[in-house]
Amino acid sequence: MKIAIIDGLGGGLGSQIARKISARLPDGVALFLLGTNGIATQKMLEGTSGLGVSGEKAIIYNLGDIDLITGPMGIIIPHAMRGEITPELATAIARSPARKILIPLEQPHVHLVGRQTSNLASLIEETVELILKFCGEGGHDERL
């Protein structure tokens, strides 16, 4: 199984997820840290055991055989994250057949309604638990 964490800007959110999950992944699960820029990738690599790549083309290339994608909701919104998410990248991520676990962080031009207010730490913990559940069930749980 292959899991991708995608982040941009400073990579803070992705690095928190990567650090929390890196040591808890079952054997046979590979972690891919996909940054929209080198700073985000480097931040996600700190203290983790994953393979990191940077940039739109590298992310799109590596999506080919990923089973699960996680990151902020902005990764599927064109022009999100201060323009780092290109329309091509957002489309590639959204079209990927991989399961997606997205963290509902608002973008300046997109507002989310109807969601419970949660702090970032609890959203990250919920994300990590969903990823681990997905890994433990062989990646075929339709309830996720």
pLDDT at 144: 42
At the top level of CATH, the class of 2-136 is alpha beta
d(CA 29, CA 27): 6
pTM of the model: 0.83
Higher pLDDT, 134 or 93: 93
pLDDT number for residue 32? 96
Any idea which residue has 């991708």 for tokens?
Answer: 4
Structure confidence by residue, pLDDT tens digits, 10-63? 888 999 999 999 888 888 899 999 999 999 999 999 988 889 999 999 999 999
Kindly list the domain boundaries of the chain, sorted by start residue.
2-136
CA angle 89, 16, 2 (to 5 degrees): 55
Average pLDDT over residues 64-76: 93
At 114 the pLDDT is 61
Q: Are 32 and 61 in contact (CB under 8 A)?
A: no
How far apart are alpha carbons 69 and 3 in whole angstroms? 6
From edge to edge, which strands make up the β-sheet containing 30-35?
Answer: 51-54, 30-35, 2-7, 68-72, 99-103
